[in-house]
Amino acid sequence: AHRVGISLGTARDLTAPTFEEMMITPAKVGFFTKDDKIVNNTIVIPNDAFSNTGNVAGIVTMQNKRLMMFNNAISILDDDIANGVEVSAAVSYYNALPAPNDIQIDRNAFWLTPNIDYYRVVEKDNERNLVELGFAREFALLNQWRYWTGADINSVEYNFLEDMEYKGDYPSRLRI
């Protein structure tokens, strides 16, 4: 099964033949959301007792323009992801090439197991044509993403889980 913390995108094509295709095929080609903000979230995807065969991402963005993503704490602790899984990243960016003025991503905290990428980029054009598929481990280091985009300059790699207080038996509220 796929494991995702936050997914932000336009409506999906519910007539696509498979679930995987439905998740990446917009209902209307050329339509984008604009000025979206993903701000002040804590996302923890814990390790489980299963070998995951689906995509794993803290945040997924699709068909967005002028995206703002600030002050998020993203942790993926799952260390058993099957070979061949397309995406295992803190952030999956499924959009046109991010121009410097088109995205504002900074001041995020990441705590990831070694097999998780910081970002996975699948570049599409405005008509949803594939430009660049990208590849696993392309952004295995936060600095690789920083150098390519100029984003996340003030973001940190930090074990923020040690600063969290869990409330209740099955915490729906996590506090940092």
Strand ranges, E, within 25-95: 33-34, 37-39, 42-45, 56-62, 64-65, 67-70, 73-76, 88-95
Q: Which tens digit of pLDDT belongs to each residue from 39-73? A: 999 999 999 888 989 999 999 999 888 899 999 99
User: How far apart are the C-alpha atoms of 165 and 176, rounded to whole Å?
Assistant: 7
Residue 124: pLDDT band by 50, 70, 90 thresholds? confident
163: left (phi over 0), alpha (psi -120 to 50) or beta: alpha
Q: Which tens digit of pLDDT belongs to each residue from 149-167? A: 889 999 999 999 998 876 6
